[in-house]
Amino acid sequence: MHQLSAVALVCTLTPSPKPSSSELMARHVLEQLEQHGVRTSSVRVVDHDVKPGVQVDMGEGDEWPALRQQVLDADILVLATPIWMGHPCSIAQRVLERLDADLAETDEQGRPIMYDRTAIVAVVGNEDGAHKTIADLTQGLSDIGFTVPAQAGTYWVGEAMQSVDYQDLDQVPEKIAATTAGAARNAAHLARLLRTEPYPAA
């Protein structure tokens, strides 16, 4: 039986090795996916030179093709981003722009190449912006061909105009932990279904 796999694209603006709330939230999602037998890996996108553009390969020095291969190799994509100015951050939008090229890529059955993959969105911020960030990213990922499970977004933000980070919390609030667990459980279930019975061709 096929073992499911997941990759997290962590879109923090902060390069390694500094700690990142987005990365921590992604890790919490991945830990939950592992409970369902999913093999996981994670990459911090800002550590790589992902060129601006909307083609699969933007040429010399572009490190997106290697990241894209990790998405293609996985059944589940976890897209994790901080909120800045109320929006998905520029790195997350860059990832969407690079995935946009895959709208035109099709498999041997003529289906968009990202079909049968499932996506989760994980969002952190000091305050406000999570629902909108989840909306922007799930719409983009659905467009590209990913399937969005029930309650596929997990998030933490503080009260209005506050400045605490997710990684500063003494412990993850129970409701957030339950939402993270639910998103992972649903994604694993759906990924397994789509692995067994892929979307039909037109």
Our finding on whether 173 is near a second copy (CB under 8 A) is yes
- Candidate ranges 2-10, 21-29, 69-77, 189-197; the one touching a second copy (CB under 8 A): 189-197
By CB under 8 A, name the one of 5, 39, 48, 53 that touches a second copy. 53
Q: Which of 157, 165, 180, 191 binds a second copy (CB under 8 A)?
A: 157
SS3 199: coil
Q: Is 34 in the site for a second copy (CB under 8 A)?
A: no
**Rule CB under 8 A: is residue 1 a binding residue for a second copy?**
no
φ, ψ (nearest 5 deg) of residue 19:
-65, 155
What sign does the dihedral 123-151-50-38 (CA atoms) show? positive
Angle at 98 between CA 97 and CA 101, to 5 degrees: 95
- Give the number of residues written for the chain: 202
Least separation in angstroms between residue 176's CB and a second copy is: 6
Burial of 56 (0-12, 13-18, 19+ CB in 10 A): middle
Q: Does 104 bind a second copy (CB under 8 A)?
A: no
Q: Pick the binder of a second copy from 8, 29, 130, 191 (CB under 8 A).
A: 130
